[in-house]
Chain A
Amino acid sequence: MTPFPPIYLDNNATTRVDPQVVEAMLPYFTEQFGNPSSMHAFGSAVGGALATARKQVQALLGAAHDHEVVFTASGSESDSTAILSALAANPERREIVISAVEHPAVLALCQHLEKQEGYTLHIIPVDRKGRLEIDAYRAALSERVAVVSIMWANNETGTLFPVEPLAEWAKEFDIQFHTDAVQAVGKIALDLKSSAIDMLSLSGHKLHAPKGIGALYVKRGTRFRPLIRGGHQERGRRAGTENAPAIIGLGRAAELALASMHDENTRVRALRDRLETGLTRSIGHCFVTGDPENRLPNTANVAFEYIEGEAILLLLNRSGIAASSGSACTSGSLEPSHVMRAMGIPYTAAHGATRFSLSRETTAEEIDRVLAVMPGIIDQLRRLSPYWNSETGSANQAFEPAYA
């Protein structure tokens, strides 16, 4: 293996739990193990800590009230809860609006609802830079729509959608607006109390809290139907004994994310830009996917033409660098990612799209290390590629195979 410590640049997949988060959680496994619903002292101590965690998440979201935060077990649970709640609360409305680049937690659910439950699904396309087609979005809105669910930030490219105006437009038809903000929360400043957003989903493990904890923001006054019934927890909106250590961990993680928001949007952004500029300068035939003008500060998705993503990741991994790819082979599917396809990225590049996602733990030395090894990796694979002419350093036009 490599003489360097491993470099983790896959923070949009998951993050390391911050040691301060672990520290905050530990007592709640052993000493403070009570059930917050209990009347005795074991319970009440935990109840107080949960209340603090709720306020910490409220602060990160810029929400008006702490009781607008409902703890769940994951971002996916939050997404499902929000969408199914909106449909149940508006049974006379039979249409759903989403974007073409939603996470499967939204996309697969809504396609299932379309197929099995007979809802009409409007999937709003994006342009080549991954920007939402606003005219198509506005045209899809009507009194027939029960819920709009549009992601805040795309997990593959980091592209931000203008969810605040999108929510305003939805309000003209009294439509409930949900946003899957799993990638945005903790990376960009939010001010939900001043927005028209009714519901927002977040996931703990994307912001240095543990896996298995999420939250759903439900604006006060939003008509809500619980997904999980059977208990008074979360004010009856999500039954089940609270996962106290994880909730407390999420609270602490939210506090830390708020504290490092400036760092994320200055230092981390600069590192991302340095990585991106360095890669596109030193390597030919590659380009940044998504909207460079309007993105998360931590995400760089670069498509390298004429080579395949899994091979890139395997060689990166051997150099001790963890990244991810939208290529078909890495997912076990036979198609490149639906996000790359929706953006119309040509297949010469879609298979070689590689995502580097940074975090506040990323250092300049790590970025330099990636910049040092990447050109060699790309060159090595292009030398193997029949689509590449190493002598001219360009695409090999002569290779046009067909299955015999």
Chain B
Amino acid sequence: MWNYSEQVKDHFFNPRNAGALDDPDGVGEVGSIACGDALKLMIKVDAGEERITDARFQTFGCGSAIASSSALTEMIIGKTIVQALDVTNQDIAGYLGGLPPEKMHCSVMGAEALRAAIANYRGEALAEDDDEDGALVCKCFGITEGLLTRAIRTNGLTQVGEVTDYTKAGGSCATCMDKIELVLADVNAEMVGEGLLEKARAFRYRGRFAGTPEPVRAPAPRPMVTRPAPPRPAAGPPAAGLGMVKTIMLIQAAIEELRPTFQRDGGDVELAEVEGDTVTVQLSGSCVDCSMSSFTLHMVEDKLSQALGRPLKVIPA
């Protein structure tokens, strides 16, 4: 059981301003059901002095996600848009009497939803593939470089494990750890330059062979690798000697067989490219940014490997 503060329990059991807001002036939607939490923040803004007169939320998530959303609405009602933009995830966590470290991402989600709602109110486009927010770093949880930068700056993060606690980035397949380290090192260096961080505390990126690595928290357990043995020769297709055309046809056929499964979950999978033993597939719909996408890829990998009778590597496009 988490050691939640009394304020977190209060806001979870008695959420303030829950539900939909009719005819909102700004809406911010963040997270996804795959990630385990998602938040829709709706605000009413008085046009004259740009004051937030009402705010409502709808949240899918754990106790602290619901409490963070509830706290956020209480904090911003009555503030002007300019004042509201100063609300950070630290403020949300502080309002709630603190959050367990592993739950800080709930406060970050709140701050991001606020930012999105205000942008929406101002008519600024925060497109899904928003280039301005930087490249997508963590594909599993859909975390961009911009979000990472804000979380690192606001919370003075200096360790990779902290970045995962605050944003979830790297908490699933962990293949983005290297990119997270690069972003963390860059942002920390900027903060040192601006006098916001002591140089000794800053995270430094080290190459694979350069001395002792920084302490990195062990990544969350990796999704299951299901690896049935290759089919017996009698049952399977010939293991070797397939021409490229035949290979691609077999792969294509195997993917066609898989598509109904994906479509049931509101997604899809298509063959993008085959190069040697590496197959690139295009995942779409709800299969993208899904915390299970790496698991899904393993499943595809197994099926394709079985179809061809030799091990293949499957990567997302």
Contacts and interface: CB of A to CB of B under 8 A. Distances in A.
Q: Do A and B come from one complex?
A: yes
Interface of A: 100, 108, 121-125, 133, 136, 139-140, 306-311, 314-315, 318, 327-330, 332-336, 338, 341-342, 344, 346-348, 350-351, 383-387, 399-404
B40 A386 contact: yes
A308 B109 CA distance: 16
Interface in B93-142: 102-103, 112, 115-116, 119, 126, 128, 130, 133, 141-142
Contact of A341 (B65, B119, B295, B302): B295
Contacts of B144: 403
B12 interface: yes
B38 interface: yes
Given A342-B226, A385-B60, 13 more contacts: A100-B226, A123-B224, A139-B231, A310-B62, A311-B12, A338-B221, A338-B224, A341-B295, A399-B38, A401-B38, A402-B289, A403-B30, A404-B30
A318 B264 CA distance: 36
28 contacts: A122-B227, A133-B228, A139-B230, A307-B60, A309-B62, A314-B12, A318-B13, A327-B36, A329-B37, A329-B103, A333-B171, A333-B220, A334-B35, A335-B172, A341-B224, A341-B292, A346-B265, A347-B292, A348-B33, A386-B29, A386-B60, A399-B40, A401-B32, A401-B39, A402-B128, A403-B141, A404-B126, A404-B133
Question: What 3 A-B pairs are tightest by C-beta distance, nearest first?
Answer: A401-B29, A136-B228, A329-B62
A310 B33 CA distance: 14
Interface string B219-242: 011011111111110000000000
Nearest to A97: B229
Interface residues of B, number: 67
B26 interface: no
A383 B112 CA distance: 22
A350 B65 CA distance: 17
B28 to A, nearest CB: 7
A308 B224 contact: no
Contacts of B223: 335, 338, 341
Nearest to B142: A403
Nearest to B120: A404
A334 B220 contact: yes
Interface in B169-216: 171-172
Nearest to B103: A329
Given A347-B33, A399-B40, A404 B291 contact: no
A179 B6 CA distance: 44
Given A139-B231, A311-B62, A386-B40, A351 B224 contact: no
Nearest to A347: B34
A383 B60 CA distance: 10
A328 B221 CA distance: 11
A100 B295 CA distance: 12
Given A332-B102, A348-B33, A386 B38 contact: yes
Contacts of A348: 33
B161 interface: no
A334 B224 contact: no
Contacts of B265: 346-347
B36 A383 contact: no
A111 B177 CA distance: 21
B315 to A, nearest CB: 19
Contacts of A334: 35-36, 141, 164, 168, 171-172, 220, 291
Contact of A384 (B18, B115, B116, B227): B18
Contact of A311 (B39, B66, B102): B66
Contacts of A346: 264-265
A399 B61 contact: no
A400 B266 CA distance: 12
Contacts of B264: 346
A6 to B, nearest CB: 14
Given A335-B223, A401-B38, A401-B40, A124 B228 contact: yes
Interface centre among B18, B33, B261 (most CB of A within 10 A): B33
Nearest to A342: B224
Nearest to A140: B229
Interface centre among A311, A329, A403 (most CB of B within 10 A): A403
Contacts of A387: 33, 38, 60
Contacts of A330: 62
Contacts of A136: 228-229
B37 A308 contact: yes
A310 to B, nearest CB: 4
Nearest to B128: A402
Contact of A308 (B30, B60, B112): B60
A348 B266 CA distance: 11
A332 B3 CA distance: 12
A387 B58 CA distance: 9
Interface string B29-71: 1111111111110000000000000000011111101100000
B18 A383 contact: yes
Nearest to B285: A400
A403 B232 CA distance: 45
A122 B230 CA distance: 10
Contact of A404 (B36, B66, B119, B261): B119
Contacts of A332: 102
B147 interface: yes
B143 interface: yes
Interface string B60-99: 1111011000000000000000000000000000000000
B19 interface: yes
B15 interface: yes
A393 to B, nearest CB: 15
B160 interface: no
A68 B8 CA distance: 52
B112 A403 contact: yes
A333 B223 CA distance: 11
B33 A121 contact: no
B220 A335 contact: yes
Contacts of A139: 228-232
B290 interface: yes
Contacts of B28: 404
A356 B187 CA distance: 46
Contacts of B35: 334
A330 B224 CA distance: 19
